[in-house]
């Protein structure tokens, strides 16, 4: 039978420790066998006994690379030892180290088979009536069995303990890798959230500022110019405030004062800025102030804000309609405008940029959906409709 490949050798400092352990096992087996031989009154020269013991011990130095070969050679050496007429030392004792090694190195079936061979041979000669001294020499059968069982059990126990430590180390390694991936995923999600918030907030305020700057440039009356520039100043101040807040978050600095609560109830400032830019806003917010979880309320605010910003920037519309209704724990948002999407020949505007993608991501994070597309509002006029449906379960906001 071909010998299966041994387990991979240890690396680095562990290899040195393994070699030292093998040397200690070889020396221990040599000393024990030499001691048993030396105390036998029928033993000859002590040097000869020590040489025999050294042979059994030296074989163990190759036990890690060739556990089965070492075991088989050791058993053959036991047979040769007794055939040469040396003092009895038991059949199992010289092979204890080899049996232990085979069991430790995942060769347990070989170890059990070889132990059975040794015990069977020992029992055969002890029952041989032609030698009246056979039953009195060496160890008893019970001792042989105990030695073999102890060697096998110790080898299996050491192997299982080592494998348990390896599994624990592997589990710890995989756990650390999983935690690192989870942390990276959380960091990436936080980056996306910050980018989405910056896009929505800064995009809205700068769009308002741009529109009012254009009004100021075209105004002929000083009062109109002053009012438009005031709106520009207000919008840019809001943008700078949001940037400072974001920088504090990125630097992990504690916020100064409470964070502003975003929700449908705070849409008035969005609508006022749009009206100040010349856009008519018709809003129907049929949702009570505390009827939504905070996360859903904030997502709804951002969706409406981005939709109104898109109308200001792209639609060339005169009116935007914002409707919000809560029915059967589902918040429905509808934002439509009467912008000029086509002139009868040009393709419709799709507005499928980062803003729309960000709104769809916000809706998906809340378990909802968002659709957007052209909306025919009259001959030659094609506005745009954004419709979102968000689950609104109050128990989720615990």
Confidence at residue 190, expressed as pLDDT on a 0 to 100 scale: 74
Name, in order, each residue with C-beta under 8 angstroms of 237's C-beta and a sequence gap of 6 or more: none
pTM: 0.49
Collect contacts of 142-145 with beta carbons under 8 A, ≥24 apart: 143/90, 144/90, 144/91, 144/92, 144/118, 144/119, 145/119
At 371 the pLDDT is: 92
- Residue 107 makes CB contacts below 8 A (sequence gap 6+) with 4, 67, 68, 71
Q: How far apart are CA 200 and CA 306, in angstroms?
A: 6
Structure-block tokens of residue 317: 């519309």
In the chain, which residue ranges form alpha helices assigned H by DSSP?
Answer: 13-38, 46-59, 67-83, 96-104, 108-126, 141-218, 222-250, 268-276, 294-310, 354-365
**Per-residue pLDDT in tens (0 to 9) along the chain, 398 residues:** 444 555 555 555 667 777 888 788 888 888 888 887 777 656 556 677 678 888 888 888 888 888 898 889 988 988 888 887 777 777 888 888 888 888 988 898 998 998 888 888 888 777 765 554 454 444 467 788 888 899 899 989 999 998 999 999 999 999 999 988 888 888 787 777 777 777 766 766 777 777 667 767 777 777 777 777 777 777 777 777 777 766 776 666 665 555 566 788 888 888 888 887 788 999 998 888 788 888 888 889 889 988 888 888 777 788 899 999 998 889 999 999 987 644 443 344 444 466 788 888 888 888 899 998 887 666 666 788 999 999 987 544 44
pLDDT of residue 128: 60
The DSSP code for 112 is H
Question: Taking the C-alpha atoms of 181, 185, 190 and 191 in order, what is their torsion angle to the nearest 10 degrees?
Answer: 100
Q: Taking the domains of the chain in order of start, what are their residue ranges?
A: 13-139, 261-398
> What does the pLDDT read at residue 258?
55
Which of 255, 262, 259, 250 has its CA nearest to residue 187? 250
- Please provide the CATH number assigned to the domain covering 261-398: 3.30.565.10
SS3 of 280-345 = EEEEEEECCCCCCCHHHHHHHHHHHHHHHHHHHHHHCCCEEEEEEEEECCEEEEEEEECCCCCCCC
């Amino acid at each position: 039978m071909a010998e299966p490949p041994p387990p991979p050798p240890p690396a680095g400092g562990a290899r040195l420790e393994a070699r030292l352990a093998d040397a200690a096992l070889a020396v221990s087996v040599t000393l024990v066998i030499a001691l048993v031989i030396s105390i036998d009154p029928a033993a000859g020269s002590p040097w000869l006994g020590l040489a025999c013991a050294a042979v059994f011990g030296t074989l163990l130095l190759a036990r890690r690379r060739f556990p089965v070969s070492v075991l088989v050679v050791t058993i053959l050496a036991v047979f040769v030892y007794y055939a040469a007429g040396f003092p009895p030392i038991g059949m199992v004792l010289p092979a204890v180290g080899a049996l232990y090694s085979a069991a430790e190195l995942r060769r347990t079936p070989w170890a059990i088979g070889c132990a059975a061979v040794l015990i069977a041979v020992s029992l055969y000669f002890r029952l041989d009536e032609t030698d009246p001294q056979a039953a009195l020499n060496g160890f008893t059968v019970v001792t042989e069995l105990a030695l073999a069982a102890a060697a096998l059990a110790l080898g299996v126990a050491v192997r299982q303990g080592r494998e348990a430590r390896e599994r624990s180390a592997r589990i710890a390694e995989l756990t650390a890798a999983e935690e690192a991936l989870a942390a990276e995923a959380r960091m990436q999600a936080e980056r996306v959230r910050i980018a989405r918030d910056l896009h929505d907030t800064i995009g809205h305020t700068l769009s308002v500022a741009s529109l009012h700057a254009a009004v100021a440039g075209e105004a002929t009356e000083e009062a109109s110019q002053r009012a438009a520039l005031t709106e520009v100043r207000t919008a840019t101040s809001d943008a700078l405030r949001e940037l400072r807040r974001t920088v504090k978050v990125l630097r992990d600095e504690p916020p100064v004062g409470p964070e502003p609560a975003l929700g449908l109830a705070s849409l008035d400032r969005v609508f006022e800025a749009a009206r100040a830019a010349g856009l008519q806003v018709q809003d129907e917010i049929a949702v009570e102030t505390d009827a939504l979880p905070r996360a859903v309320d904030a997502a709804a605010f951002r969706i409406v804000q981005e939709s109104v910003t898109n109308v200001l920037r792209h639609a060339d519309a005169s009116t935007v309609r914002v409707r919000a209704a809560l029915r059967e724990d589902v918040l429905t948002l509808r934002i439509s405008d009467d912008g000029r999407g086509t002139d009868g020949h040009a393709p419709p505007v799709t507005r499928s940029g980062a803003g729309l993608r960000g709104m769809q991501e916000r809706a998906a994070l809340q378990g909802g959906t968002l659709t957007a597309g052209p909306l025919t509002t009259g001959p030659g006029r094609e506005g745009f409709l954004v419709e979102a449906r968000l689950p609104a379960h109050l128990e989720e906001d615990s």
